[in-house]
Structure 1
Amino acid sequence: MKHLIRALAVSACAAVATGPALAQSAVTYDTDQSFDDVIFGLENAILDAGLVVDHVSHTGDMLERTREDVGSDVVLFEHADVYSFCSAQISREVMEDDPMNIRFCPYDIFVIVRPETPDTTTIGFTQYPDGAMQKVQEMLDGIARAAIGIE
């Protein structure tokens, strides 16, 4: 009986540890600027912050290119790119607070145009948890705002 109880306890812990993660909200800003203008502003804002773009994911192109292959007829985006980058200073600060904050690095800002709102470009990023990660959220918010000219 003792073994059965222990096995059930271990199974319960494993189920909790491997359960689905909670979805995080996004912080977004809409603008009437074109996708290309927002991308140009984002690239400049990242550079102006003393950072370097690590990677640009052309997510919208990939989703459109593979849409029929996966059996869908839904066009999700007119344009959609995700810019990934990191800050050595801020990353060190948040990881010294909690080394598991590594899971958030690199940091991403997305720019999208949806088919149902073709005159609206949205720029945004993941909302981070309270605590040290708010430093990252403040950095991303400043970069996103600078990209579209919001003070």
Structure 2
Amino acid sequence: MNKYFKDFLIGHNFLPYESWNFIKINHKNDSNHIEEKRKIRETLKNAGCGVYIYTNHKKDVLYVGEGILKDRLVRHYEKTYKDKVKGSPRYDFFNNQKEEMIVYYKSIDNKYERQAIEAMFIVVLQPIYNKILNRQVQ
């Protein structure tokens, strides 16, 4: 299945995702939270809905998601600094990633297409935190 999804993503110009738009988001403790949220909102103000891929400085794929891009990335950023339950996957993701991350994003209007593309990327890229979250749900 992985090969079919990868071939589909390549054939429809979703891979390589490094050719997508991207934003660098500083998740370090010393970042200016207000300025970072403003940067996210300003950069993504016209992006609409889409798929996004969180990577770290080592180019590890951490998380793949979909939704209203500006809103989702601001919420993810805010979660970095909120109290969370230690040991939960969300705590691990948002608390252990205190660095500048690169988030690649691509606008996709159709909800069902977004969800399908997100699911294919999760299968193909095996993002660290999607796998952890999916194991928690099962």
Normalised TM-score (structure 1):
0.27
- Of structures 1 and 2, the larger Rg is shown by 1
Flag the structure with more relative contact order, 1 or 2, with Cα contacts below 8 A and sequence separation at least 6. Answer: 2
Normalised TM-score (structure 2):
0.29
